[in-house]
Amino acid sequence: MSACGTSNGAPHGAAATGCGTAGAAETSGMATAGTASSATGANGRKLLRLEVRNAETPIERKPAWIKTKARMGPEYQQLQSLVKSEDLHTVCQEAGCPNIYECWEDREATFLIGGSQCTRRCDFCQIDTGKPADYDTDEPRRVAASVKAMQLRYATVTGVARDDLPDEGAWLHAETVRRIHAENPGTGVEILATDFSGNPDLLGEVFEARPEVFAHNVETVPRIFKRIRPAFRYERSLDVLTQARSAGLITKSNLILGMGEERHEISQALRDLHDAGTDIITITQYLRPTPRHLPVARWLPPEEFLEIKGEADEIGFSGALAGPLVRSSYRAGRLWAQSMRAKGRVLPDDLAHLDRTDGEPVFLQGV
């Protein structure tokens, strides 16, 4: 998937996204251990040789620290009832996100636009590759209506890559931001976008919609980037973030760890992202979504995530979160407000409610 890291297993956030295994797993197209041997996925697509080779390694057993506690507060319970009664759909519940209790308690949620199939394939992402659905120009209105019905304080919108379209989905991304803002003036909007092939005109259309945050997830380090994200380019992704920063937007990216990178490469990627103009960084553990995806190379303990977060703070990011279950849209509203404060910018009155500092992420406590 292009955007999520809502993307780690399901998009960046996900992505690559607060999203489940980091992104939007509304679709699966999964190959189980059984289907891998027949070399076809659930949607009938013939598996790539890489996917067949991946499937030779069984799904890894997760360490004890890959868990979270369900804390169902009043806001979460009210929102859960509303979503069921109105038949609304978010990435959060469809991806089985472990952070849904905290995000919904904050009245934050993530939506996937552009269809359920991506024109690109990343080796960590659960979104299936294939021929995308017809272009749905009514989708921005429906997403904005869902945001209003859910009374969200902050909405993250992520989308699949649409290389089949002349504008690669730029209008769809921009129009969704515009419609949410128009229908919900008290809701912050974060767009977690593809790279739009680095095209300044296409990116400019999204920038002009003025999302509170423009996010584009780099996800991994240069040495293994091409193998894991063959349709993307590391330097181009950095340039996308630079363009967004030059347009005056708060910028954000994500790194997924445990895919074969070395510790010093994480440090270099953090410096690269900061030098490119990235304001906010989220850092997470790779969770393999199906046997046909990249095997996990390493499980990072919580202590190492704390160390990496400290390094990100020292480098100078205005907002940083790191942890095994952090996802690119986790506590997104708070990170935006924190970044605004760090830049000396005044929060708009109708978004001042996002300036909250209470509570620490559950999975970073007691480490």
Share of the chain above pLDDT 70, in %: 78
Distance between CA atoms of residues 363 and 338, nearest Å? 20
- The confidence score (pLDDT) of residue 36 equals 42
Chain centroid to Cα 270, Å, comes to 17
Binding-site residues sit at: 92, 97, 103, 118, 122, 125, 329
Dihedral angle sign, alpha carbons of residues 207, 256, 154, 353: negative
Give the model confidence (pLDDT) of 152-204 as tens digits: 999 999 988 898 999 999 999 999 999 999 999 999 999 999 999 999 999 99
Domains assigned to the chain: 87-364 (3.20.20.70)
Residue type present at position 273: L
Least confident of 139-148, 204-213, 251-260: 139-148
Mean pLDDT, the chain, whole residue set: 83
Residue 140 backbone dihedrals phi, psi, to 5 degrees? -55, -40
Q: Is the pLDDT of residue 261 over 80?
A: yes
Residue 258: per-residue pLDDT: 96
Least reliable range by pLDDT among 210-219, 265-274, 325-334: 325-334
In sequence order, what are the beta bridge partners of 281? 253, 320
- Contact (Cβ atoms closer than 8 angstroms) between residue 270 and residue 312: yes
User: How far is residue 39's CA from residue 268's CA, in Å, rounded to a whole number?
Assistant: 38
| One-letter amino acid for residue 193 of the chain | A
31 vs 46, higher pLDDT:
46
pLDDT the model gives residue 86: 60
Residue 45 vs residue 231, higher pLDDT: 231
**In Å, how far are 19, 114, 331 from 74, measured between CA atoms?**
21, 32, 18
Q: Closest Cα partner for 19 from 208, 215, 265?
A: 215
189 vs 176: CA distance, rounded Å:
9
The tens digit of pLDDT for each residue in 23-40 reads 333 233 333 334 444 566
pLDDT tens for 270-322 read 999 999 999 999 999 999 888 888 889 999 999 999 999 999 999 999 999 99
The rounded radius of gyration (Å) of the Cα atoms in the chain is: 19
Give the residue-averaged pLDDT of 113-129: 81
Between 331 and 13, residue with greater pLDDT: 331
pTM metric for this prediction: 0.85
Q: What is the pLDDT of residue 163?
A: 86
Which residues participate in the annotated binding site for [4Fe-4S] cluster? 92, 97, 103, 118, 122, 125, 329
Q: Which residues contact 53 (CB under 8 A, 6 or more apart)?
A: none
Write out pLDDT tens, residues 82-113. Answer: 667 665 556 666 556 677 767 767 788 888 88
Using an 8 Å Cβ cutoff, are 280 and 252 in contact?
yes
Collect all residues with Cβ–Cβ distance below 8 Å to 4 and sequence separation of at least 6: 10, 11, 12, 13, 14, 15, 16, 17, 19, 22, 23, 24, 125, 127, 158, 192, 217, 328
Report CA dihedral (276, 110, 32, 130) to the nearest 10 degrees. Answer: -70
Whole-number pLDDT of residue 188: 97
